[in-house]
Amino acid sequence: MRESELQELVAYRLRRAMETLEEARIMGKIEHWNACANRLYYAAFYAVSALLVRDGLTATKHSGVKALFNRHYVKTGKISKAEGRLYNRLFDLRQEGDYLDFVLLDKERVAPLMKATADFIEAIRSLLSEAND
């Protein structure tokens, strides 16, 4: 992949992260907490996938993306442990809300994650821009 194509893909994934974060906010406003948790996870996922693709790392499953993120960014200190825990928490909440029967996530569990996810995406954006400087 040429450098210009790579930069375009990274920018696209960051745009998807921001669009999906906005979808999470909309779901929160109408109190659809399972959908909100899903969109928060995907917002973070798109940001992480931008970082991975920039560095030539790929995974075919969400669990693989999580493992690569933790190995290459959290354990190396490029991303804080708190942000790593947030990504893992979003992953688990999405799994719970999407795949387990009779799970109704609530405002108390999901709403506090909105700002944290926005901050997470900003941390990824900052890390991506540092490499471009």
- The structure tokens listed for 123 are 């941390």
pLDDT tens string 21-72 = 999 999 999 999 999 999 999 999 999 999 999 999 999 999 999 999 999 9
CATH of the domain at 22: 1.20.120.330
Per-residue pLDDT, 87? 98
The pTM score is: 0.95
pLDDT tens string 104-125 = 999 999 999 999 999 999 999 9
The number of folded domains in the chain is 1
Under 8 Å between Cβ of 37 and 90: yes
Average pLDDT for residues 85-96, to the nearest whole number? 97
Q: Residue 133: is its pLDDT beyond 70?
A: no
